Structure 1
Amino acid sequence: MSNRKPAVLLVDPVTVGVGYKQAVRDMDMSVVSLFTNEPADLKVTWPHHAEGDDVSLYATEAAEVLTALADIDYEIRAVVPASESGVHLASVIAHELSLPCNDVELARARHDKSLMRDHAAAQGLRIPAYRLVHDPSEVREAAESIGYPVIVKQCDGAGSIGATLVPDAASAENFQVVDETNYFGWTVDAWLVEEYIRGREFAVNAFSSDGDHRVIDMWEYRRPDDRDYDFPLWDNVQAVPDDPDWARIEEYVCQVLTAFGVRRGPSHTEVKVNADGVFLMEVGARLPGGPATDQWSEFTDVRPFHDTLECYLGRRPALMDKPINSRAMFGAIAIHNEVGPGTLVAMHGLEEVRNHPGVDKVLVSYEPGDHVPPTRDTLSIPLGAWVSGPDQESVVRVLAAIRAMVDLEITPDQPAD
């Protein structure tokens, strides 16, 4: 029997690292964290990223990680992808260590949007028409072969960084890459040009255990009008099980998870649904971002980090078989800067939002005096809030109240001479 201390390897535990690390401690194991960014960069973006670690490793290649793990006095019992950037590497490392994991052969397809589309097409799943391009100059040809409107996405992207709606030939002709790096700071060298699907958009959160899937909840991305968009976050509202599209979305998402080799752990799948059916936007084998994990922990019997660990330890978590027992419905809001780039003078109504019944958390990204870009992705939202209520109607009312309270006073940039 090994005398090495039992531990869990967390891959890129940055945004939700505290939750995972506490869950590992609760299970009487040690925390070994692997970060795929340079330490110097992390000290700027996530200065407290290594807090709570027994060991912190920095590497991007599986072979390097395996060598480092062999030199420490810990026995790794589970490998957990703690963010999207670590999904592929976590699967490879777990496979090499003969630990429970999702299908390693499909790990890259669960992250790279081009490979995701290729595999979904091969599996007969309904998806948008698409083309892969390696240079912005190729966008127009790809778009015209598909038909307008199209949307251009980074293949390795997240958070809608770089997602651009291209409505017509003139826009395609003048297409320029705004973001040369993705959400994780990686240089972008490939883009997916795909058919723009109109319809309702949902994020579906599920857990899997030994190939069984259970949908935990769905969130609808609600927009203020029926215009096409390239950034979905506006009002996010948790769907109810008697929603007319729930059953077919649930069935489709379970098919997607099986097709992409998701056998254990949490997943976050985004789809669009219309009269033609349900279309895959993307699938991620990880916990959702945003409010879901906090809201589950506060108002349901779901223990997102503990339940995830159970899955990757090869055990079946209780949530696979027991009622969720939700004591509230949830929502989230993103207040956009729609006036163009400028300097924030004031965020009127902020204190009223913080004190409004049903508001659980307020997230402020800019202070007066800061330069504020137009909102086009998750990194450029001036103000967000997470809300809860006894039913969906209450949640919708709170979101509307927040919008009525908030006024962003922004001095626009002066045009260059």
Structure 2
Amino acid sequence: MTAQEPTAQGRRPVVVLVDGYTTGNYLPPAFARKGADVVHVQSTPELMTTMLAPDLGAYLANLVCDSPEETARQLAAYRPVAVVAGQEPGVPLADRLSELLGLPTNGSAQSAARRDKYEMIEALRRAGVRCAEQFRSGRPEELAEWAERRGEYPVVVKPLTSAAADGVAICRDAAEVRKAAEAVLATRTVFDEPNLEVLVQSYLVGEEYVVDTVSCEGRRYTCGVWQYRKKLIGTHNIYDYELVLDHQDPRVAELIAYMDTALRALGIVFGPTHAEVIITADGPALVEVGARLAGGMNPAYHDECLGANQADLTALAAVRPAEFLERYADRNFRKLRETWLYTTPTELDGVVDGYDQDVLAEIEGLETVRGLNVKIKEGGRIRPTVDLYTSSLRIFMAGDSAAQVERDYLHIQRIKDQVFRLR
């Protein structure tokens, strides 16, 4: 069998991965560990250049989608057992292909609500699930007028279909709303999609959390619950670090119960999700949810700290659903280590000429550091951080106590910018 031939009947199971960008690159190895091969489907004529591209060498084949119907016909020859979205742009196509192939599916009827943040929140509202007030328009003046009529600031302005806090602004008056909306409409999303409309929402007051799950036949396993620590710089609430809550923390049960209602409202019964939720004075309320792996996915790290990881659980649910249901359905993670994911902000501005290897080695040698990703490539532009994509380093940290991790976090904070040599 060559790399381009369909798998013969009786051979290894095949899974279809749509748009395997960024952390989607963890899925082919995860499927391989479960004894499955993977076929990649590209939803766009050319690979998107705004994200880490899929390693196409990890797949049996790469199909460029002309139409869902024709792509499903081509995929049928591989006798796939599941279709999974590797990144958010692939969610609607994964929904439709799985539907056409008669495989486990979230269905296409609510695909828009799993990509468009306005439709997402409206789906929750229709189901009676607590959520933000909101309005969308392609005209900045209309967005500012809605905020003025509502009469309660701050409000949040954001693109409809982006991610990683791209274009998100916390606005304190109508002028800031107009300015933020104009900025969104003048740019494209991190997925290289045009911004034709802008969303403005009520500001949810409270602490923000992440809830990561994997579902199979409508029953989910909660992979982790993390609490965000962010810093407000101007109108941008930027990522700093996130830490795992203890599995016995009462907030965990409250957040999981809320997300169960949100997943039902959005029709998510299969595959991974990465949700951001704020616990307000009235209880949890969804910020947004992506039907894909978490951006901070690192399988070995999550195995050490949480006892399992979202990539391997996604593969298990797809390839051996009965085993997933028996071992993981309706259960939750256990916190095994003090766990922080530090995404370093920066005020640097320039072109990266290289890295100080001694500083990188110093960070990697710290007792609690389990991994380090340098996010700005040599020759790339480093800018002051305004969202997740403009942060400079991602550092995976784990220790025996919060004090131990915080000690190393503060040390990294002092030297993080020394990693980069600028032209």
Coarse TM-score class (shorter-chain normalised): 0.7 to 0.9
* 1:171 pairs with 2:180: no
For residue 346 of structure 1, report the CA deviation from its aligned partner: 8.4
- Stretches of structure 1 that go unaligned for 5 or more consecutive residues are none
Q: Distance in 2 between matches of 1:258 and 1:40?
A: 32
For residue 123 of structure 1, report the CA deviation from its aligned partner: 0.9
Q: Which residue of 2 aligns with 1:337?
A: 346
Counterpart residue type for residue 82 of structure 1: G
For residue 395 of structure 1, report the CA deviation from its aligned partner: 3.1
Q: How does 1:61-72 map to 2 (within 5 A)?
A: 61-70=67-76
Q: Distance in 2 between matches of 1:18 and 1:410?
A: 26
Counterpart residue type for residue 183 of structure 2: V
Q: Which residue of 2 aligns with 1:207?
A: 214
Q: Which residue of 1 aligns with 2:158?
A: 153
Q: Which residue of 2 aligns with 1:261?
A: 267
Summarize the Cα distance change of 1:193–1:293 in structure 2 as closer, same or farther, 3 Å threshold.
farther
Q: Which residue of 1 aligns with 2:415?
A: 405
Counterpart residue type for residue 341 of structure 2: A
Counterpart residue type for residue 126 of structure 1: R
Q: Distance in 1 between matches of 2:364 and 2:105?
A: 41
Q: Distance in 2 between matches of 1:111 and 1:68?
A: 26
**From 239, 262, 269, the counterpart of 1:233:** 239
Summarize the Cα distance change of 1:181–1:280 in structure 2 as closer, same or farther, 3 Å threshold.
same
Q: Distance in 2 between matches of 1:310 and 1:45?
A: 26
Q: How does 1:13-412 map to 2 (within 5 A)?
A: 13-39=20-46, 41=48, 46=52, 49-59=55-65, 61-70=67-76, 73-146=77-150, 147-175=152-180, 176-178=182-184, 180-224=187-231, 230-313=236-319, 314-317=321-324, 318-320=327-329, 324=333, 327-338=336-347, 341-342=349-350, 349-366=359-376, 371-407=381-417
Q: Tell me, what secondary structure is at the counterpart of 2:367?
A: coil
For residue 10 of structure 1, report the CA deviation from its aligned partner: 0.8
Q: Tell me, what secondary structure is at the counterpart of 1:177?
A: helix
CA contact 2:353–2:378 (8 Å) conserved in 1: yes
Q: Distance in 1 between matches of 2:402 and 2:260?
A: 25
Q: Distance in 2 between matches of 1:228 and 1:57?
A: 44
Counterpart residue type for residue 105 of structure 1: A
- Stretches of structure 2 that go unaligned for 5 or more consecutive residues are 1-7
Summarize the Cα distance change of 1:40–1:78 in structure 2 as closer, same or farther, 3 Å threshold.
closer
Q: Tell me, what secondary structure is at the counterpart of 2:123?
A: helix
Summarize the Cα distance change of 1:8–1:217 in structure 2 as closer, same or farther, 3 Å threshold.
same
CA contact 1:337–1:408 (8 Å) conserved in 2: no
Q: Which residue of 2 aligns with 1:12?
A: 19
Counterpart residue type for residue 398 of structure 1: D
Counterpart residue type for residue 141 of structure 1: E
Q: Distance in 2 between matches of 1:215 and 1:139?
A: 36
CA contact 1:10–1:82 (8 Å) conserved in 2: yes
Summarize the Cα distance change of 1:166–1:303 in structure 2 as closer, same or farther, 3 Å threshold.
closer
- Aligned length in residues: 407
For residue 108 of structure 1, report the CA deviation from its aligned partner: 2.0
CA contact 2:15–2:38 (8 Å) conserved in 1: yes
Summarize the Cα distance change of 1:247–1:29 in structure 2 as closer, same or farther, 3 Å threshold.
closer
TM-score, normalised to structure 2, is 0.85
Counterpart residue type for residue 383 of structure 1: L
Q: Distance in 2 between matches of 1:345 and 1:40?
A: 27
For residue 215 of structure 1, report the CA deviation from its aligned partner: 2.2
For residue 213 of structure 1, report the CA deviation from its aligned partner: 2.8
CA contact 1:345–1:409 (8 Å) conserved in 2: no
Q: Tell me, what secondary structure is at the counterpart of 2:183?
A: coil
Deviates more, 1:298-307 or 1:50-59: 298-307
Q: Distance in 2 between matches of 1:128 and 1:285?
A: 20
For residue 38 of structure 1, report the CA deviation from its aligned partner: 3.2
Deviates more, 1:245-254 or 1:197-206: 245-254
Counterpart residue type for residue 60 of structure 2: D
For residue 124 of structure 1, report the CA deviation from its aligned partner: 1.1
CA contact 1:152–1:166 (8 Å) conserved in 2: yes
Summarize the Cα distance change of 1:211–1:40 in structure 2 as closer, same or farther, 3 Å threshold.
closer
| Sequence identity percentage | 26
Q: Distance in 1 between matches of 2:48 and 2:417?
A: 34
Counterpart residue type for residue 277 of structure 2: V
Q: Distance in 2 between matches of 1:283 and 1:17?
A: 16
